[in-house]
Structure 1
C-alpha cells in the first residue's frame, strides 16, 4: 500500500491519522503542493486533479479522503480476523459533516497577500513548465490554471470568505455541544470521527487562531489537550508543527520556492 501525501495537507493528515490509529503499514511518498510537486507528470497522470492524498493498493487507487479512511478501516477489520467492528452511523455522519467544510479559502485568507501571491505565481509557472514537458496532459494542466485564477477571484469575494467562516463556526459550535455530552466526538471512545476533526483544530493552531476558535470553547479546548497526547497525533502532526518543527517545515519549503523562482527553474 502506498500513500502520496504531505504534512501540510489537511486531508493527508486525516488519512495518516487513520493509518496510525489502525496500525496499517504503508509506503510513504511526500508530494509537496506548495512547491508544485503534485504537478509533476508522473503524479498528474495518476491523479489529474493534482489533489492530495492519493491512496494506492496494487491497481486500486482512491482519491476521496472519506473513502480512503473507510477503506483503511476495512483493511483493519479483515486483518484483525473480524474482531474489530466497523464505524457506526454517527461516526460516519460526523466524518462527512467535517469533510463538508472546505479549509482552502479559510487558510489562504489568513496568509499575507504578498506571500500568497508569490506562491500562487510560482505554482502557475510550474504548471506551465509541466505542460510543455507533457503536452498530452495539456488539457488537465489548463484546468489547473483556470482553478488557480478562480481561487484568487474568490479570495477577493468577501461573501465567499464570510460563508466559509460561518460554516466553520457552526461546525465548531456543534462539536462544542457534543463534547459537553461525550469525551470524544462520537461517544466515549476515540473514533474515525476524531481522526477527521483533529487536523481541523491543528490547522487553526497553525494559523495562530487557537484563542479565537479553540480556547473560547472550553469543551473543545479540553478535548484538544486530550487528543494531542495520542501517539498518532505526535507522529502525524506534532512532529512537523509543534515547537521548532513548525518553523523548520515552513522555512524549508519557503527557501525551495524562493531559490527556484530566482533561478527560474520550475
Structure 2
C-alpha cells in the first residue's frame, strides 16, 4: 500500500492518523504541493485534480479522504481476523462528513501573510506553465489548473468568500463544543475516525496562531485538544512536524526551496 501525501496537507493528516491508529503499514511518498511537486506529469497523469492524499493498493487508487479512511477500516478489520467485522457507525460517519464539508483552503490562505501567499502562487503558476511545456499531451488539463490558480486569487479578494468560510468553521466548532460537553470524544467515549477527522482541523488553527480565538475560547474543545495531543498517532503525524521549533523548520525549509528555485528560474 502506498500513500502520496505531505505534512502540510490537512487531508493527508487525516488519512495518516487513520493508518497509525489502525496500525496499517504503508509506503510513504512525500509530494509537496507548495513546491509544485503535485504538478509533476507522473503524478498528474494519475491524479489530474492534484489534490492530496492519494492512496494506492495495487491497481486500486482512491482520492476521496473519507473513502480512503473507510477502506483503511476494512483492511484493519479483515487483517485482525475478527469474526464480527464492524465499521464506523452512523454517528461517526455523519461527523466525518460534516467535518469534511468545511474547506480550509480560503481560510488558510486568508490567514497567510499576503507577500508569501502571492509569491508562492506566482511560483506555482510558473511550475504549471513549465510542466505544460514538457507534457503537451496534458496541456488542456494543466491549463485548467492554471485557470484555477488565478480564480483562487480573485476569490481571496472577495470578503464574502472569506466570511462564509469563517462562519462555516465557527458553526462546526460550536457543534463540536456542545457535543464534547456530553462525551469524552466526538462520537462517544471511544476514540473514532470522527476524531481522526477533527484533530487536523484543530492543528491547522494552532499552526495559523489562532488557538486563542477558536480553541481556548471553547473549554471543552481546549480540554479535548490537550488530550488528543498525547496520542502516539498525533505525535508521529502532526507533532513531529509542527510542535515547537519544528514548525519553523518545516516552513522555512519549504520557503527556501521556493525562493531558490525562483531565483534560478528552475520550475
TM-score of the superposed pair, with normalisation by structure 2? 0.99
Report the Cα offset of residue 78 of structure 1: 0.4
1:64 maps to 64
SS at match of 1:168: helix
Kindly indicate whether residue 11 of structure 2 is the aligned counterpart of residue 11 of structure 1: yes
2: CA distance, partners of 1:177 / 1:211: 18
1:262 maps to 263
1:173 maps to 174
Report the Cα offset of residue 73 of structure 1: 0.4
Q: 1:182-193 residue pairs with structure 2 within 5 A? A: 182-193=183-194
2: CA distance, partners of 1:217 / 1:19: 29
TM-score of the superposed pair, with normalisation by structure 1? 0.99
Q: 1:202-221 residue pairs with structure 2 within 5 A? A: 202-221=203-222
User: Deviations along 1:181-212, whole A, 9 cap, x unmatched?
Assistant: 00000000000000000000000000000000
1: CA distance, partners of 2:187 / 2:28: 29
SS at match of 2:32: coil
- Structure 1 residue runs of 4+, over 3 Å off? none
Q: How many residues align?
A: 266
Report the Cα offset of residue 82 of structure 1: 2.4
1: CA distance, partners of 2:259 / 2:131: 19
SS at match of 2:56: strand
SS at match of 1:223: helix
SS at match of 1:28: strand
1:161 maps to 162
SS at match of 1:181: coil
SS at match of 1:61: strand
Kindly indicate whether residue 115 of structure 2 is the aligned counterpart of residue 111 of structure 1: no
1:32 maps to 32
Report the Cα offset of residue 85 of structure 1: 2.1
Q: 1:216-255 residue pairs with structure 2 within 5 A? A: 216-255=217-256
